[in-house]
């Protein structure tokens, strides 16, 4: 595992909180993905080499795909870690999303299982794990209560640098 000083993690919203929902061909989604790729590359150019993703549907998977694309196209020394909250994370997802998830897991350099069984706190424990092992958090955030807000608040309390892509900029 890489040192915290060169590690960046991500937090963001699931499709239900995105104005385009599941439609990743929407121009707003494409713009967000492009900006996310720019932020990741910017972090790489400033010294971050290890990127942790929580592997949730929506923005987490966008992040993972963007990091893997940068690794494949430009920066082979970039490392990707999947922080999985519990083994059943994707069990209730639609089939295509489960296949996407598993394909991304197969391409990650590490897979960290945060706990062995699902419970009400496992997603937040996953988020704290990511923040606790990072010196930068990149977030897609809509300003509303929820897991992303809680993760950002925790990162700020822990004095971890944050970069926030405000969802309203992609409306």
pLDDT tens digits along 110-159: 999 999 999 999 999 999 999 999 999 999 999 999 999 999 999 999 99
Bridging pattern class, strands 161-166 and 110-113: unpaired
Q: Which residue has the higher pLDDT, 1 or 96?
A: 96
pLDDT in the model for residue 61: 98
What fold, for 4-170? Rossmann fold (3.40.50)
Sheet holding 7-11, edge to edge: 110-113, 79-84, 50-53, 7-11, 136-141, 161-166
Query: Which H/E stretch holds residue 162?
Result: strand 161-166
Phi, psi of 11 (to 5 degrees): -140, 145
**Where do the structural domains in the chain lie, given as residue ranges?**
4-170
- Per-residue pLDDT at 1 exceeds 80: no
- Rounded CA separation 103/95 (Å): 12
- Rounded CA separation 166/171 (Å): 10
Whole-structure pTM value: 0.95
Q: What is the per-residue pLDDT across 58-78, written as a single tens digit (0 to 9) for each?
A: 999 999 999 999 999 999 999
**pLDDT-based confidence at 2, cuts 50/70/90?**
low
């Amino acid at each position: 595992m890489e040192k915290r000083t060169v590690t960046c993690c991500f937090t963001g919203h699931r499709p239900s909180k995105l104005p385009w929902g599941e439609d990743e061909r929407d121009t707003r989604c494409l713009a967000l993905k492009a900006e996310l790729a720019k932020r990741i590359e910017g972090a790489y150019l400033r010294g971050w080499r290890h990127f942790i993703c929580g592997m949730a549907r929506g923005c987490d998977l966008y992040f993972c795909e963007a990091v893997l694309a940068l690794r494949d196209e430009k920066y082979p020394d970039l490392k990707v870690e999947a922080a999985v909250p519990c083994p059943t994370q994707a069990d209730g997802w639609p089939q295509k999303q489960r296949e996407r998830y598993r394909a991304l897991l197969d391409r990650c350099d590490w897979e960290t299982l945060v706990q062995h069984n699902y419970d009400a706190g496992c997603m937040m424990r996953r988020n704290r794990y990511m923040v606790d092992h990072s010196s930068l958090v990149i977030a897609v955030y809509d300003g509303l209560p929820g897991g992303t807000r809680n993760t950002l608040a925790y990162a700020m309390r822990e004095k971890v640098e944050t970069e926030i892509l405000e969802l309203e900029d992609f409306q």
